[in-house]
């Protein structure tokens, strides 16, 4: 079993699509737009085959607009050097570095940044010494 994709609501669909294409080499599919409901989305595919769906809707219900449960995306970017380089690039481009780079208690080497809308992204190595991952490690 595997996760097929993760979906997140976004305020600025195009800005978020460009962000993931630029920094994570994602390839975007065609924009889906449901004219009846106003729902729009892009599926982004990464080199590993994993996918992220970015979604938006003109009028979100209060339940969706104030929902919680999303914690972070963990993006395996290669080795420690790659984590360090990408973290440095994010800071240079004005994105906040919230934590790291460091080795966590559960064996991940990671740096935690935010995307343009404040979603947490863990930049991790491709391998770790323990299963699981947590920004609180």
84 within a domain of the structure (yes/no): yes
d(CA 56, CA 82): 31
Q: How confident is the model at residue 90 (pLDDT cuts 50, 70, 90)?
A: very high
133 within a domain of the structure (yes/no): no
Q: How confident is the model at residue 68 (pLDDT cuts 50, 70, 90)?
A: very low
- The pTM (predicted TM-score) of the whole model is 0.70
Measured CA distances, 45 to 1, 21, 83, 130 (Å): 18, 9, 20, 26
> What pLDDT is stored for residue 10 in this prediction?
86
95 within a domain of the structure (yes/no): yes
In this structure, the answer to whether residues 97 and 121 fall within a common structural domain is: yes
Number of folded domains in the chain?
A: 2
């Amino acid at each position: 079993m595997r996760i097929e994709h993760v979906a997140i609501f976004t305020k600025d669909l195009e800005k978020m699509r460009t962000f993931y294409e630029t920094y994570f080499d994602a390839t975007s599919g065609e924009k889906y737009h449901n004219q009846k409901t106003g729902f729009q989305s892009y599926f982004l595919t990464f080199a590993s085959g994993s996918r992220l769906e970015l979604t938006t809707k003109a009028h979100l219900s209060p339940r969706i607009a104030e929902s919680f449960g999303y914690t972070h995306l963990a993006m395996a970017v290669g080795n420690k050097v790659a984590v360090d380089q990408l973290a440095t690039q994010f800071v240079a481009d004005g994105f906040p570095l919230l934590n790291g780079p460091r080795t966590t208690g559960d064996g991940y080497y990671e740096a935690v940044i935010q995307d343009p809308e404040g979603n947490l992204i863990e930049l991790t190595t491709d391998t770790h010494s323990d299963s699981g991952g947590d920004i609180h490690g």
